[in-house]
């Protein structure tokens, strides 16, 4: 039973900012003894790579930034959703619900305050501390580890899109070695453009001790042996938290000099791939960045594509993408964005009595675009995207459907009846093989996809939502907004969370 002195209070309404203590060091060590409170932390000045010196830092982030990381990290399940896009909602719920269920926030007074810190940190809530069984705690720790690793690598350190290593690593000639099921390899890999390095990344979460970190370091060493002579960085992120303590990260890292990264498999050598942090900052000049961004947003696309018309709306954001390029983190909060607020106010002033079609044309002439959005059922998370990215995702989805139809063995109905009685482990290996086949087919199609997605992306910008959605009516244009939502945007995507369902401030 939760102790009686734990107050039964509703979540409070506040801006969704938290401080995340982060310790950089050159290898696994014992868990620091409450140094996330007592050590003198450095202020985080922003980085497109690792800071110049190891030690404690105290960056501030938003719940929106954490939720964005949660929705985009992990294995790509979209090959299994080609004919059932509605189940994309279920996967998104699975990625964010453990965070909402078990994380809370509490006020903190560190011994050495950092200028600009919010004085609020994340922790496990009383439900996790007093009422959650071990298997559920393990699952929550896994999701926390993957989410905070994605947040640290991408939002904090400027890594490009991460990929699950189970589908093969960055070097085509080494794919089979990376896919060896007998090797215990790290979770993720990515390419850091500013550092000009591959990153191999292992995520750990929960009450992370030295034994767990050593296992992760061994997984990274195995991956490093596979990469061999290519320059890379190994990164071990431990997202550690116990009830009543602050969530903090240890980032153990090692640099391995060697040959420079190869041009991505199948990419055009004249096509400059994306720079630090966000593929979307480079969609205008990189076809491979466009393919990567469309793949990264495929779950959100499937959720939008399959949502009932009554659940869809469009929200106005400035059409100038440069206003949302990466400054700190991947997303730009909109409640403090003066340009967005001013343009929305002007649009509302001009909207009196106007029909939706006229209104849409009017806001576009004012320099606003409207992004399609819907709430993910079962959550208080709203996801959305621009016309251009939606159109590119639509074209990519059509190509993926074609791969599934022409590749024997990818569909469940293609499996012999006897194989349906396989053990859980054998079935997982079978599904992994299917995902690998699918990814190989996708990469083989890359040269042909470039002009197709580029054409769809350009045409999408001038299309009506009714045409893109293949529905007779346009979704409602929401100029009034919802004061209960905290909104954020990237150059081509939209994310909002409910103010009233953030982790409570006393956990």
Q: Secondary structure of 92-112 in the HEC alphabet?
A: HHHHHHHHHHHEEEEECCCCC
Which residue positions in the chain have pLDDT lower than 70?
1-2, 7, 9-15, 179-182, 263-277, 325-327, 353-354, 408-421, 505-507
pLDDT of residue 270: 44
Q: Are 102 and 323 in contact (CB under 8 A)?
A: no
Q: How many CB atoms lie within 10 A of CB 414?
A: 11
Mode of pairing for the β-strands spanning 248-256 and 232-240: antiparallel
Mode of pairing for the β-strands spanning 103-107 and 476-477: unpaired
Give 100: exposed, middle or buried? Use CB within 10 Å, 0-12, 13-18, 19+: buried
CA distance 189 to 203: 11
Q: State the number of CA atoms in the 13 A half-sphere of 354 facing the CB.
A: 16
Whole-angstrom CA distances from 63 to 20, 257, 331, 385, 501 are: 11, 36, 11, 19, 11
Under DSSP, is residue 319 helix (H, G, I), strand (E, B) or coil?
A: coil
Residue found by looking up tokens 């370091």 in the block = 217
Q: Give buried/exposed letters for 205-223 (b at 16+ CB in 10 A, else e).
A: bbebeeebbeebbebbeeb
CA distance 399 to 221: 37
List the one residue out of 447, 82, 402 whose CA is nearest residue 291.
Answer: 447
DSSP state at residue 328: S
Mean pLDDT of the chain: 85
Q: Alpha-carbon torsion 260, 266, 272, 274, what sign?
A: negative
CA distance 392 to 405: 20
Please count the helices (runs of H) and the strands (runs of E) in the chain. 15, 18
pLDDT of residue 505: 63
CA distance 295 to 300: 10
Give tens-digit pLDDT for 63-120.
999 999 999 998 888 877 777 888 899 999 999 999 999 999 999 999 998 998 999 9
Q: Are 404 and 305 in contact (CB under 8 A)?
A: no
pLDDT of residue 324: 72
Q: Are 286 and 265 in contact (CB under 8 A)?
A: no
CA distance 186 to 267: 25
DSSP for 404-465, written as a single string: HHHSTT-SGGGS-GGGGG--HHHHHHHHHHHHHHHHHHHHHTHHHHHHHHHHHHHHHTTS-H
CA distance 459 to 141: 43
Q: How many CB atoms lie within 10 A of CB 231?
A: 16
Q: Are 391 and 383 in contact (CB under 8 A)?
A: no
Whole-angstrom CA distances from 291 to 36, 237, 445, 450, 456 are: 40, 28, 11, 7, 11
Mode of pairing for the β-strands spanning 248-256 and 22-25: parallel
pLDDT of residue 506: 64
Residues 6+ apart with CB under 8 A from 148: 20, 66, 69, 203, 205, 237, 239, 247, 249
User: What pTM value is reported for the model?
Assistant: 0.90
CA distance 213 to 252: 9
CA distance 245 to 121: 9
CA distance 274 to 491: 13
Q: Are 501 and 100 in contact (CB under 8 A)?
A: yes
């Amino acid at each position: 039973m939760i102790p009686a002195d734990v107050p039964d209070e509703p979540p409070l309404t506040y801006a969704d900012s938290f401080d995340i203590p982060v310790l950089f060091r050159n290898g696994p060590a014992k868990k620091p003894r409450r140094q996330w409170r007592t050590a003198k932390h450095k202020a985080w000045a922003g980085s497109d790579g690792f800071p110049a010196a190891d030690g404690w830092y105290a960056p501030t982030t938003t719940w929106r930034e954490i939720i964005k990381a949660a929705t985009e990290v992990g294995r790509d399940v979209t090959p299994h959703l080609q004919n059932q896009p509605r189940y994309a909602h279920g996967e998104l719920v699975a990625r964010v619900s453990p965070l909402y269920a078990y994380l809370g926030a509490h006020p903190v007074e560190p011994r050495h305050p950092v200028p600009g810190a919010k004085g609020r940190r994340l922790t496990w809530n009383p439900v996790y501390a007093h009422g959650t069984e071990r298997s559920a705690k393990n699952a929550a720790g896994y999701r926390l580890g993957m989410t905070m690793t994605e947040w640290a690598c991408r939002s904090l350190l400027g890594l490009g899109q991460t990929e699950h290593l189970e589908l093969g690593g960055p070097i085509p000639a080494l794919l089979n070695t990376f896919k060896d099921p007998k090797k215990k390899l790290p979770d993720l890999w990515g390419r850091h453009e500013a550092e000009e390095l591959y990153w191999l990344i292992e995520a750990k979460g929960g009450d992370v001790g030295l034994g767990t970190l050593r296992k992760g370091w061994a997984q990274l060493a195995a991956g490093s042996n596979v990469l061999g002579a290519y320059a890379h960085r190994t990164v071990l992120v431990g997202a550690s938290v116990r009830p009543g303590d602050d969530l903090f990260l240890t980032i153990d890292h090692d640099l391995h000099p060697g040959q420079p990264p190869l041009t991505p498999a199948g990419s055009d050598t004249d096509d400059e791939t994306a720079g630090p942090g966000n593929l979307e900052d480079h969609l205008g000049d990189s076809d491979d960045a466009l393919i990567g961004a469309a793949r990264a947003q495929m779950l959100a696309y499937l959720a939008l594509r399959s949502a009932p018309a009554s659940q869809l709306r469009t929200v106005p954001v400035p059409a100038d993408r440069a206003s949302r390029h990466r400054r700190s983190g991947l997303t730009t909060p909109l409640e403090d964005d003066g340009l967005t607020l001013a343009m929305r106010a002007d649009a509302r002033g001009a909207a009196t009595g106007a029909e939706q079609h006229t209104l849409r044309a009017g806001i576009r002439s004012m320099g606003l675009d409207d992004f399609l959005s819907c709430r993910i059922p079962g959550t208080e998370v709203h996801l959305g995207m621009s016309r251009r990215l939606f159109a590119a995702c639509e074209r990519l989805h059509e190509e993926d459907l074609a791969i599934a139809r022409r590749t024997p063995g990818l569909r469940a109905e293609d499996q012999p009846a006897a194989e349906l009685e396989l053990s859980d482990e054998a079935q997982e290996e079978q599904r992994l093989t299917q995902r690998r086949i699918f990814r190989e087919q996708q990469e083989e199609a890359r040269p042909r996809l470039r002009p197709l997605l580029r054409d769809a992306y350009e045409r999408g910008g001038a299309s009506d939502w009714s045409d893109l959605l293949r529905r007779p009516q346009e979704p409602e244009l929401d100029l009034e907004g919802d004061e209960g939502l905290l909104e954020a945007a990237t150059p081509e995507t939209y994310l909002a969370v409910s103010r009233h369902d953030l982790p409570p401030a006393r956990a």
